[in-house]
Each structure stands twice: as structure tokens, then as C-alpha cells.
Amino acid sequence: MGRVLKLGRVLVLTGAVLGLVTPAAQARDDGARTSSTIKHVANIPKKGAFAASEAYSTDLAFQGRYAFQGNYHGFTVYDIKDPAKPAVVSRVSCPGGQNDVSVHGDLLFLSVDDPVKGDSCRAEPTSPAFRSAWEGIRIFDISDKSRPKYIKSVRTDCGSHTNTLVPDKTGKAVYLYVSSYGPQNDFPHCKPPHDSISIVKVPLDRPTAAKVVAKPVLFPEGGNEKQETLLAPTSGCHDITVFARRNLAAGACMGDGVLMDISDRERPKVTARVTDDNFAFWHSATFNAAGDKVVFTDELGGGLGAACTQAVGPQRGADAIYTVEGGRLVKQAYFKIPRHQSAGENCVAHNGSLIPAKGRDIMVQAWYQGGVSVVDFTDATKPQEIAYFDRGPLSPRDFGGAWSAYYYNGHIYSSDIQKGLDVLRITDPRTDSAAGKRLKVLNPQTQ
């Protein structure tokens, strides 16, 4: 979700672990339209402190038999050994937007991009104009999935809107590429120019020693600041996806889309850069399996607007598919869901990931109230939707829909902002080859 402007250090050992809840998983279609190849097999609704409409469900990560779902009020751990019967293992109350989540081994990382009075899970919101305001990364020990423990915080400039987990080359540490934006002169921890990211290094044998080790400037000349159609000028990045084994990264940086060389994990270098007059907010990026294509998303309206109406059209608030040719990004086509949504439904391109189908480039993607879409972009010039799950509009009107949708070990998992966790199954000859593939971990921004 895009946020243009920001509104508005005592280490604690544990977040508040809420009472365990294991409701029966049921499919809640709510008037959904679906393709014939998609089956909605389960839903776990938000509960307790997470049930409030402002407790938005956000991003997902996966490890073994577990799924981890961020929420503006904390995060939830699910047992998904049986995808048709997911069960809540724990809910941890630790408010902070967006609480995007990544996992590695016994560690879980949360991004906090709302200023609070200190880093405690009980800290009250405050203004970023105060020097004591805290934003950044929270680190939890998840060795006991039923009782995660909050063990460390790291302040980062302008907070942490998203984080991308990057393995180092020795296996002794992981890096977090922290994307953030929205500088103002009166913000002591977020002053302009902010054309950089923060890099946090986490030693795996001593995670409490995690710290910021670099703040590389990606746009020394200031980035795209003059395009009139932008939601906001470039001032950092919104999200970064890394293709670690090829030492590549793709950055969605507000007004710019970039390729980076991350051979030196602490010194990423921009090697290619593109802008697009149709794009309002470069939001996220996904490589294909070969690393020679990138799908960038445009979050027109910051996720709050109805960008999937007939009046907006097929090119704004869409994906843009690029090929990587000689180190350059070459645009091939736009893709946008073909189903027009109502003027009351927030809808725009959002988070997705690859389905590991043999010989094809297929991704599943969330579109807020536009639902979940499966797109074949094997022919980069002619992307096409091959499956979808699209709930009816929320009533009363509210911000909602699918925040993220990812394929993991045979099923699609969707984090629905208001409805909780959805599990879908796709049966299609083009994706069937992915059904037997098994991953040990999936952080979707780490390909």
C-alpha cells in the first residue's frame, strides 16, 4: 500500500501473544465470481483485536508448514499442513503499519512505518516530527511458533514501509533491504533528500546485534521528480525484489523502476532505470524464473481509489511487463484485470508472485477488491489472465480486498484486508506442473 506523507528505545522481550483461536476453516465466497479453474477451499477470518476494520491484513511469508500474515495490529502464525483446514497457532499483538513480514530460520522481521513513542509493542502513536519517535524493523524469535518473542529493534531512516530479505554469501548473516519514503524538513529521522534505502545486517548467531550497516544512495541526481502524473516524486523506494543467485534486484521506487547489481550486498548499484508517463506510483516488482523479465506494478491512487473502472482504462493502475535485454529494461506490454469493478471498490495492481509452472511464466497477483488474478506472461507482449477469484464489493464501503496473493506448495494463499486468510486451489493444464513442487521457505520478495 502506498503512503505519500507521514502523519502525525526500550527493548521489550515479548509481544503480547493473544489467546489461541482455531476456528473451523470455511470458504467465505461473499458473492464471489470465479473462473472454472479456481476453487475457494478455506477462509480464516480475523478475530479479537485483529477483527477491527482498521486492523488491515497485509503481507505473507511461508516456512515449512507455517504461514505468517502481517496485520496493522501485529501478525498471525498459521499451521497450513492441511491447506483446506488452516489453523491459527498464535496471534501477536504489536501494532505498527504495515507490519510487512519476512522470515528466516527462527527469526521473523516486521516493517514499521508509523512513528510511535519508542519501540515497544505497547508504544503509542506519535508525530514523526519528534526526535524520540521510532520507526523501523522489529525482530522476533519464532523458534516456538506458539509464543514468538520480540528480541530486537532497529531504527531506520523514514521507517520501514517494506523489507526484503537478502541472504549473504557466507550463510552467516542475512540483510534486510529497507524501503521507505516521505521525507520532510521537520522530521529529524527522515529529512530530504531521501534518495536511499537502509541496509540492516542481522548476524544469525547473534540477531540482537542487528544494525544498519549502509544507506546507499540510489538516485544521486534526485530521481523522477518532475513527472506531473506521479502520486509523489521519487524519494527512496517502495519495494525491492531480489534474485539473489544472479545478484540482481528490481526496485519499484515511486517514480522510477530500476535494476540493481547486488553482487556486493552492502553496496547495491543501479544499472538500469525507466520511467513511464502512465505510472503514478512504482509499487513492486516480480522477476520471472529466468530473470530476463520483470513485472512492475503501478499502485495508482495508493490503493485507496477505484482504479479498475471502465473510465480509468486498461493502462493506468496496471502491470508493466519488461524484458531485460543487454542490461536494459525494455517495455513490452501492460496487463490489467479485464473485469471492471464498481466506483466503490478500491482496486489496483498489488502484491503477487510466480507460480513455478514448467516452461511458462505465470504469476498470481492481488488486486485489492479486484480479487486474485492468475496471469500468463510467457509471451511478454501478450499477457493474459487465465484464472481469477473476485469477491463482491464490501458493504458498507470500506478499504479492503486482497492485499497479497502468493502460490506456495500447491495452493494460493491470499491475505484479505478485511476477511482474513483465504486459501485457493487452481487446476489448469498450464499450472499443473507446479503442484508437486515444494519449497522450504517463501519470502516472495526474495526470488
Q: What is the tens place of the pLDDT at every residue in 70-129?
A: 999 999 999 999 999 999 999 999 999 999 999 999 999 999 999 999 999 999 999 999
Lowest mean pLDDT, pick from 243-247, 329-333, 345-349, 392-396:
392-396
Q: Which three cell numbers stand for residue 238?
A: 517502495
The β-bridge partners of 325 are 328
Ordered by start, the domain boundaries in the chain are 16-442
Q: Phi then psi for 208, rounded to 5 degrees? A: -70, -5
205-233 tens-digit pLDDT: 999 999 999 999 999 999 999 999 999 99
pLDDT at 11: 35
The β-bridge partners of 272 are 259
pLDDT at 29 over 80: no
pLDDT at 5 over 90: no
The whole-number average pLDDT for the span 31-55 is: 95
pLDDT at 3: 44
Nearest-angstrom CA–CA distance, 355 and 406? 8
Of how many residues is the chain composed? 447
pLDDT at 145: 98
The whole-number average pLDDT for the span 419-434 is: 98
pTM over 0.75: yes
Q: Annotate 274-290 with b (16+ C-beta within 10 A) or e (fewer).
A: bebeebbbbbbbbbbbe
pLDDT band at 6 (very low <50, low <70, confident <90, very high): very low
Nearest-angstrom CA–CA distance, 414 and 422? 5
Nearest-angstrom CA–CA distance, 229 and 172? 44
> Hey, is 337 helix, strand or coil?
coil
Superfamily of domain 16-442: YVTN repeat-like/Quinoprotein amine dehydrogenase (2.130.10.10)
Percent of the chain at pLDDT exceeding 70:
94
pLDDT at 141: 98
pLDDT at 25: 57
